[in-house]
Amino acid sequence: MTVFVSAVLVHVADVEAGLSWYQRAFPSAERRRLEAFDFDYLKIGSTHLEIVPADEKVASGAAGTVVYWQVEDFDRALAHFNDLGAPLYRGPLAIEDEFWMCQVRDPWGNCIGLRGRRSGVQSL
């Protein structure tokens, strides 16, 4: 059995604002549309990033599972997210093989994990 992450759902109060923000957060993301379902999503590599409405069953915010995105330059990625209004929430923390990890929060309070090697910029 082959197993991989195919989709990540992010719950927000305003789907269009969420799609726009996440497309800026992940510049390589391609916006896609499923006409039959009247549904837009972002494709990042082989992963679908699906921005969906928060509701009474699943609210937005920090709780439970956090998806970590591999980044080429940890410091640059952290600065990029900070510039978009995603403040540092946890970390940064040195982990294995000279990698670093942290969590930032999107405008709806959801956690976004970042993992990567540092560029040498010591601004943290």
Give how many domains the chain has, as a whole number: 1
| Mean of pLDDT over the chain | 94
CB 106 within 8 A of CB 118: no
Report yes or no on 60 lying in a domain.
yes
**For residue 17, pLDDT beyond 90:** yes
What is residue 36's three-state secondary structure?
helix
Residue 1 lies in a domain: no
Which residue in this structure is represented by tokens 């970590």? Answer: 68
Q: Is residue 77 part of a domain?
A: yes
What percent of the chain shows pLDDT beyond 70?
96
Residue 122 lies in a domain: no
| Residue 71: φ, ψ to 5° | -120, 150
Q: How far is CA 17 from the centre of its chain?
A: 14
Q: What is the pLDDT of residues 34-71, one digit of tens each?
A: 999 999 999 999 999 999 999 999 999 988 899 999 99
Which domain range does residue 12 map to? 7-117
Distance CA(55)–CA(123), nearest Å, equals 38
Q: Has residue 103 been placed in a domain?
A: yes
Domain assignment present for 2: no
Helix (H, G, I), strand (E, B) or coil at 64: coil
The reported pLDDT for the residue numbered 123 is: 43
Angle at 58 between CA 36 and CA 1, to 5 degrees: 65
Is residue 122 scored above 70 in pLDDT? Answer: no
The CATH number of residue 72's host domain is 3.10.180.10
